[in-house]
Chains A and B, each alone.
Chain A
Amino acid sequence: MLLQASMIALAGSLAGYCISTLTRGAISREIRARMTAETLRQTAEAQADQDMLTELPNRRNFFRRLRERLERGRAGGEEFVLGVVDLDGFKSINDSYGHTVGDLLLIEVAARLRDAGGGNGLVSRLGGDEFAILIDGARNDEQLHGHGDTIRESIASPYLISDIEFSVSASVGFVRSTIADLDETGLIERADFAMFRAKANGSGTVIFSHEHEEDLEQIGRVEQALRSSDKEAEMSVVFQPQVDIASGETTGFEALARWNSPSLGNVRPDVFIAAAERTGLIEEMTPILLGKALKIARDWPGDIKLSFNLSIRDIMSSTAIDKLCRIIEASDIDPARLEFEVTETLIMSDFETARKSLAKLQTLGARVALDDFGVGYANFGHIDQLDINTIKIDRSFVTRLADGGRTAKVIKTMVDMCATLGVGSIIEGVETEQELDVLQGIGARKVQGYYYSKPMPPDEIPAFLSRRFLARIGGGPASVARAV
């Protein structure tokens, strides 16, 4: 019996052990497969929510968390502040030092932001050089300005990347979650608006307020009206003369856009042009305005030039610039009489594309002027590389002439530099006889401004030119102005 029991025990033990091993092996394998799949899913989810460069939460993740925070805020009245941080002039760093350095800079900026702002909330990268911060709790203006200063000071400390030391500044915009009943997109829009205000006025930090809300509504109304406008009928061009001081001769006119909206009335050019650039409608507007300006300029005397401003969207799109070239070719006007004005800021946004676009216009025979010179980068390399024909010295220098100081010498230096380089110069914003006298004294040649004439509709140009002709026969520039 013992032998029989032993045999049964042996067989049973072996069977039990095998069953146990097989069962637990199968279950363990299944569990491992599930765990691996779960780990992979979590990794993929984490990667989809993370900015690969800075390892901060990305835009998608940030928007989700912002939405959750807003819902929590609505349920329990929990207040928070949203901040948007944007680096100033990051594009030029990328262009000058390359994208590798730009990326390393963004990584360093992200680390500093995490230290400076992350203690109080969530830091995230929205894209490019734009970051967002969520700060829990209510904050008064003073606290927010202090927080903005901390962030900006932290970012402004010098960087040493690839043995290159450089500095970068930042602009910060804040908006409180309680400003209005908004969704996450509305809140980001307002923080962005505040940040752009900070960038535009150089104040560093701006907190979105109810006054800004009115501005934003106004912008919305303008954009809406612009979208539905009949641009051919509602848009027009006016012209401001450019005058040779010595001879009193009008050398050209700068075309300036005007919009008379049926619903909004006359809209300020800076407002509707900014709206057109934001919405991309500028690409539709520029050909219409250029066509109108060319049609009018065709009837002017052959020695009078036409200056026309181009926007960033016009020169960053080869389709848009080709369209402008076709309009010029079809206009029966000598392209040598045309001068296209671009700003340095515009060129810096993508130097290579800007160079190619401007070269196309120059190939036709048109000239290129660098507008608002002296207040931006004032990069002399651009004059050389872009084969600039004219430099338009910014009106702010003329405004500062009355304060005395070295402004006159600065203007003289720029005028002399242009003469040395063989580049024409025009000084903008001349409004008084005193300013004109000073400019004449330092050897300035061409000027533009209200002293000679404010922008005029096309039908006033023949009379203006006739008066100019009579004045040239009868007297100097002062008599021209008096006649005007």
Chain B
Amino acid sequence: MRATGAGSKSGNASEVEMRHALAASYQSMFAAILLPISFYFALTVFYHLLVADAAGHAFLSVSSALIAMAFLAMGLDVRRRALSYRELEFFGFAFFALINLKAAANNFVQLEPAKLFFFMLPMLIVAIFGISTRLVVTAILSSVATMLAFAS
């Protein structure tokens, strides 16, 4: 009993250390992509305002601006302090949700069947930079579901 207890304790300690090390590794990767993506969304603000002419692009421009600011805030926060595994996972969910919702909003405003595969791109980013399996699986299922919903 005692040995099992000790073993389990040691196992937990090792698991905690592993998660800590995973968070440290993924944080640096996550930090590397957040600011460029934030910059990308900042650019799309101007695209929606200046280039696109369909109705609803003002809404898309505002949402791009909000997403750009959210990613900028996240990027700065990720660079400023060490995040825990859970925090990184939460940031991953938020990252994916915002991009996926923006893609959905784009298609609500102007459905472009030829560009539906764009739903796969944020999923692939999360697949590379997502810290947990459940984050990646959620991203895959959500992307597929959203894409198929628009396809149908």
Contacts and interface: CB of A to CB of B under 8 A. Distances in A.
Contacts of B128: 19-20, 23
A32 B18 contact: yes
A8 B21 contact: no
B151 A1 contact: yes
Nearest to B19: A31
Contacts of A139: none
A1 B113 CA distance: 8
Interface residues of A, number: 23
B144 interface: yes
B149 to A, nearest CB: 9
Interface size class of B (residues with CB under 8 A): 20 to 34
B148 A6 contact: yes
B75 interface: no
B127 A17 contact: yes
Interface string A10-48: 001101110110011001101110110000000000000
B12 interface: no
A16 B147 CA distance: 15
B77 interface: no
Given A2-B151, A12-B123, A31-B21, A20 B136 contact: yes
B120 A9 contact: yes
B140 A13 contact: yes
Contact of B124 (A4, A16, A30, A34): A16
Mostly helix, strand, loop or mixed at chain B's interface?
helix
Given A16-B120, A20-B127, A9 B18 contact: no
A5 interface: yes
Contacts of B148: 2, 5-6, 9
Given A16-B140, A35-B21, A5 B124 contact: no
Contacts of A32: 18
Contacts of B152: 2
Given A1-B151, A31-B18, A12 B25 contact: no
B72 interface: no
A34 B18 CA distance: 10
Interface of B: 14, 17-18, 21-22, 25-26, 113, 116-117, 119-120, 123-124, 126-128, 130, 133, 136-137, 139-140, 143-144, 147-148, 150-152
